[in-house]
């Protein structure tokens, strides 16, 4: 199994994807790790703090972000993946991309997982690349595109619609020959969703267990935290502890893979939450 973890293990101990943005314009840490050596150093720090996977991204997907070319994305991510693989032969590396050519070259450079925010719909060649490679994939739900997804998202029943979309995309990948054990699913908090939609998804997350796939979530440092707190905006430095709180709640609701910027506090929150869950299960 590509995740190197069984569902039973995931139920007992969630895993952390440490965010490594090699972009000039990401909403929280843009331009900090454009230098490949600084990026690798940060990856090593995240791993030392408890990350299980390093998620390398070369294109910002913040609301309103412009897309970048394949060539530019490759220029940003491939040197980092190559250095990481050379320095840490056993590390699990994810590439955050929806472009098939970027995924193909990242896999050749050493990536183990493709984290696709379009669930394979952003590039018709993605499914073929994944099928031939044998790597893992995270399929995420997003209404619209990063440039426009925040403008006017609409749902009749956000939980049912997102669940059905993820089931459909997962089943299509399986029918195409990709083993179910290679697939994780992400409801896409904040991607084409208003505050009420995000809250509905959070409360309805236990329903996603019916999909029988690992559930990945990414809420780290997002603007949804400010909205939950009733702020028009919230400085990035003040988003850590709200993130940690939601990490604990989402773990309790059944999430198993967490994409975060601040690894250590979120890892500690997960372990405490899991200690409580384990005690609960013993008492049943």
Q: Parallel, antiparallel, or unpaired for β 53-57 and 136-140?
A: unpaired
**Does the active-site annotation cover 147?**
no
Q: Parallel, antiparallel, or unpaired for β 113-116 and 257-260?
A: unpaired
d(CA 100, CA 188): 20
At residue 15, the 3 state secondary structure works out as: strand
- The one catalytic residue in 83, 104, 170, 222 is 222
- Give Cβ neighbours of residue 280 (< 8 Å, ≥ 6 apart): none
- The one catalytic residue in 76, 104, 182, 259 is 259
Q: Transcribe 224-283 into DSSP letters.
A: HHHHHTT-S---GGGSHHHHHHHHHHHHHHT--EEEES-HHHHHHHHHHHHHHHHHHHHH
Q: Parallel, antiparallel, or unpaired for β 53-57 and 183-186?
A: unpaired
| β-sheet bridge partners, residue 15 | 257
**Does the active-site annotation cover 259?**
yes
- Give Cβ neighbours of residue 74 (< 8 Å, ≥ 6 apart): 58, 101, 102, 105
What residues act catalytically? 222, 259
């Amino acid at each position: 199994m590509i995740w190197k973890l069984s569902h039973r293990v995931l139920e007992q101990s969630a895993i952390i994807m440490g965010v490594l943005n090699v972009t000039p314009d990401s909403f929280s840490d843009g331009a900090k790790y454009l230098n490949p050596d600084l990026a690798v150093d940060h990856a090593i720090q995240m791993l030392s703090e408890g990350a299980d996977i390093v998620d390398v991204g070369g294109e910002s997907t913040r609301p309103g972000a412009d897309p970048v070319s394949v060539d530019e994305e490759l220029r940003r991510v491939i040197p980092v993946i190559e250095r990481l693989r050379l320095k840490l032969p056993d590390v699990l590396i994810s590439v955050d991309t929806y472009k098939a050519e970027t995924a193909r070259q990242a896999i050749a450079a050493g990536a183990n997982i493709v984290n696709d925010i379009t669930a394979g719909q952003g590039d018709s060649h993605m499914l073929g690349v994944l099928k031939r490679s044998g790597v893992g994939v995270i399929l995420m739900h997003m209404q619209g595109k990063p440039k426009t997804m925040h403008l006017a998202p609409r749902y009749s029943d956000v939980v049912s619609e997102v669940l059905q979309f993820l089931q459909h995309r997962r089943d299509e990948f399986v029918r195409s020959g990709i083993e179910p054990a290679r697939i994780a699913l992400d409801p896409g908090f904040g991607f084409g969703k208003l505050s009420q939609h995000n809250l509905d998804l959070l409360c309805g997350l236990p329903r996603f267990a019916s999909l029988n796939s690992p559930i990945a979530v990414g809420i780290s440092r997002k603007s949804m935290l400010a909205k939950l707190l009733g702020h028009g905006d919230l400085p990035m430095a003040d988003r850590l502890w709200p993130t940690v709180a939601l990490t604990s709640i989402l773990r309790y609701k059944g999430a198993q893979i967490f994409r975060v910027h601040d690894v250590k506090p979120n890892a500690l929150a997960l372990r405490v939450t899991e200690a409580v869950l384990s005690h609960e299960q013993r008492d049943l």
